[in-house]
Amino acid sequence: MHRLRTDVSICPTDDGTILLDERHGRYWQLNATGAEILVAILDGATPDDVVRRLVDTRPVDRQRAAADITDLLTRLTRADLVTS
């Protein structure tokens, strides 16, 4: 299960979500799809659950959705914003 680090704040916006890394004073902006993915994962959905949701609601195929989810989680983990 993935979680935001305790020193990362999340703020929804009209266009997605902003993450604030309070340790380093850095902001990360996610578009609406990235925000939907992150919130679903933080709420306990598996990446496969999110793939199905995206394929059902967006014009994206299964492989692309899975690759995008993996890429987002990898980037957020490398930036030390998300832990698993």
Reported as a single tens digit per residue, the pLDDT across 66-78 is 999 999 999 999 9
Sheet with 26-31: strands ordered across: 8-13, 16-21, 26-31
Residue showing tokens 């492989």: 63
| Cα gap 61→76, rounded to integer Å | 23
The architecture in CATH of the region 3-79 reads Orthogonal Bundle (1.10)
Say what the pTM is.
0.92
pLDDT in tens, 6-63: 999 999 999 999 999 999 999 999 999 999 999 999 999 999 999 999 999 999 999 9
Give the start-to-end residue ranges of the domains of the chain. 3-79
